[in-house]
Every structure is written in C-alpha cells, then in structure tokens.
A and B are shown apart, each in its own frame.
Chain A
Amino acid sequence: MDASNYLYISALLFTIGAVGVVVRRNAIVVFMCIELMLNAANLSFVTFSRINGDLNGQVMAFFTMVVAACEVVVGLAIIVTIYRSRRSASVDDASLLKR
C-alpha cells in the first residue's frame, strides 16, 4: 500500500462533499458537506506532510481546522437567524432577491 492511497480517499470525499453542496436543499446538510470537503483537504495536507517528511502540512491542516470552526459558528448562527424569520432551513426558501 502506498501513502498516496490516502490522497485518493481524500479526492473521493471532496467530490462527494461537492455533490452534496449542489444537490441537497437543507442548509444544515449543505453545511455538513462543506465540512466534509474541508476535512478531505485536511487529509491531503497530512498525507503530503508525510510524503515530504515535513511538518508544515500538519500546521496548515491545523489552521484549516481553526478556520473551519469559525466558519461553523458563524454559518450556523446565520442558519438560525434565517430559520427564525422564515421558519425553514431550506436553501430554496431564501429567495427574496429573486422576485
């Protein structure tokens, strides 16, 4: 087994996450798919860190985690605010600008 196998898993997870962001309608599930994409990128960072014998990749993954945590906090607050005003967490319902 080669270390690059982790990269293939990472690519697969990233693709699945991207499909989820496009296909799913529930804002919370869309958000979880974004988290999946971030995690897949993290797995790539860690694997590249191992392939290169260098800890820089792990530090990058660490920063990604912190930024992802911030993003979750603000994003979920936005979802709660939208839910409060329109009683729905579906991304299709927030379409006031369309009309």
Chain B
Amino acid sequence: MLQLALEVGQTAKPEAVMFWILGPLAVIAALAMLLVKKAVHSAILMAFVMIILAVFYIAQDAAFLGIVQIVVYTGAVMMLFLFILMLVGVDSSDSLTETIRGLRSLAITAAIGFGGLMISLLGHATLGRSAVGLTAANADGNVQGIAALLFSTYVWPFEVVSALLITAALGAMVLAHHQRSTTRPTQRQLSINRFRGDSLGTAAGLSGPGVYARHNAVDVPALLPDGTPAADSVNATLSARGDMLDYKKFDLSEINTKVEEEK
C-alpha cells in the first residue's frame, strides 16, 4: 500500500523526461522575454512559454485547462497582443536604458530574495508529501468533473464572471472609441495648406519612392532634380524599421557617368 502511494505520488518516468526538457526551456524563454529588445520577440517568446504551460497542464491530468490555455492564451490573447503591437508600431522597441538609477540592480536583488523565499517555503511546505493524483477525481472524465463543480459549487462565481466579461467588452469598446477633437480637414483646406507652407517644394505632393532607371523599389528614396535623394519619399514605417536602403548609393555624384564604349 505504501509502495503504491509512493508510485502515485512520484511522477512517472516519461513525465520526468518531459519536465526536465520543457521546464528549463520555459524558464529560458521567460528570461529571454525580459532581455530581448523588440516587443514582437517578447510576444513570440511569451506564446512559447504559454504552450509549454499548456503541455504541463495536460501532463498533470488537467486536459481541459491545457486545451483552454492553447485556445485562449496562444490563440486569442497573444494574437490580441500582436495585433496591438502592429497598431502601436512594430518598430517600438524598448529603450533598455535605466530611467531610475539603480532600479535594475535593486529589482534583481529583490527578485533573488523573493524567489529564494518562495522556493525555500515551497520546499518546506511540500517536500516529503506525496501527491494524491487526480485519478479518482477524473474518474468520470476531466471535463465532466470540472463541469460538475462549475455548475454546482461555483455557479454564482461563474455568473459573476460572465457579467465581468460583458463589462470588459463594453469597457474596451468605450475606451477604443475615438472622438475627433478637431474637424477633419477638407481637400480644399489641405490644398490651401500646401501652397501657404514655407516652401513650394511639396506643393505638388510628396514624391513617390524609387529612383528611375537605377532602382525603383519602395525602400529606395526618389532623387530630386538636383540629384539629392528625397528622404521623405520613403514610407516612415520603413525608415523607422531601418529597412530603407542607403540613399548615398544612389546619389548622382556617386554614379559613374562616363559612358563606356562598346566594342
């Protein structure tokens, strides 16, 4: 009997292999999430951690939560994050400079203290105690077991949570609703503004990207009549992302204008 209890309490061998492969990966991915500069990379690493957590749930007899984790987190929440990242600008990389002096070292010290405290507490609280396991609780199936609890003991919290979801949806709609504080400029007004500006350089509109006869891609600035490149002819997002080709290469003075004779 004691032997059986020990065997149930210990996780089986395949699970141990799974844990020791995925566990360190999850921690490394979470750490990398802190260290990478671009928010998009953070989001991808976050999705990775969440998938690993879903595997952990399924391995721990929580099949329903594992599937929900994948559907809700990696499916909905992370896509929402990526969507907002696209809206806010993919180029919005975080400056990793400290704005408050000593904040980073203080945070790391506090984290080591907090983590050490948690881990030592967990060691005291759980070591030497074998897990019961969910074989009995999941006898009718995991989904059925959770449903039985959800619609009996937790039916009131369940209803409250549904009210919370509706409130959140309404709140998001109210927050995202954008009311113009100024009137939209008409085409006539825009035209007048163009001609009343400081210079008439852009009176006919901004020039499009691309250099005729040499290179006509959208990431290459146009050349002005005097041969200088027009930096504002390239989309601002492209230049912010650093995808604009160096227009020095297309400066007319750099081009070999000597015509080579064909033999």
Contact = CB atoms under 8 A, between A and B. Distances in A.
Q: Do A and B bind each other?
A: yes
B118 A32 contact: no
B126 interface: yes
Interface string B101-145: 001100110110011001100110011010111101110001001
A80 B176 contact: yes
Interface residues of A, number: 71
Q: Is the interface of B mostly helix, strand, loop or mixed?
A: helix
B31 interface: yes
B118 A35 contact: no
Contacts, number: 237
B132 A51 contact: yes
Interface string A9-31: 10111111111101111101101
Task: Give the bracket for the number of chain B residues in contact with chain A.
Answer: 35 or more
Contacts of B157: 63
28 contacts: A1-B20, A5-B11, A6-B56, A11-B118, A11-B122, A16-B34, A19-B111, A23-B103, A23-B107, A26-B39, A28-B42, A28-B81, A28-B84, A29-B42, A36-B46, A42-B69, A49-B134, A50-B134, A51-B132, A58-B146, A71-B168, A72-B81, A74-B175, A80-B176, A81-B176, A88-B92, A90-B94, A90-B95
Interface of A: 1-9, 11-20, 22-26, 28-29, 31-33, 35-36, 39, 42-43, 46-47, 49-56, 58-59, 61-63, 65-74, 76-81, 83-84, 88-90, 92
**Closest 6 A-B residue pairs measured CB to CB?**
A53-B132, A70-B168, A77-B175, A1-B16, A15-B115, A4-B126
Interface of B: 9-11, 15-16, 19-20, 23, 26-27, 30-31, 33-34, 39, 42-43, 46, 49-50, 53, 56-57, 60-62, 64-65, 68-69, 72-73, 76-77, 80-81, 84-85, 87-89, 92-95, 99, 103-104, 107-108, 110-111, 114-115, 118-119, 122-123, 126-127, 129, 131-134, 136-138, 142, 145-146, 149-150, 153-154, 157, 161, 164-165, 167-169, 171-172, 175-176, 178
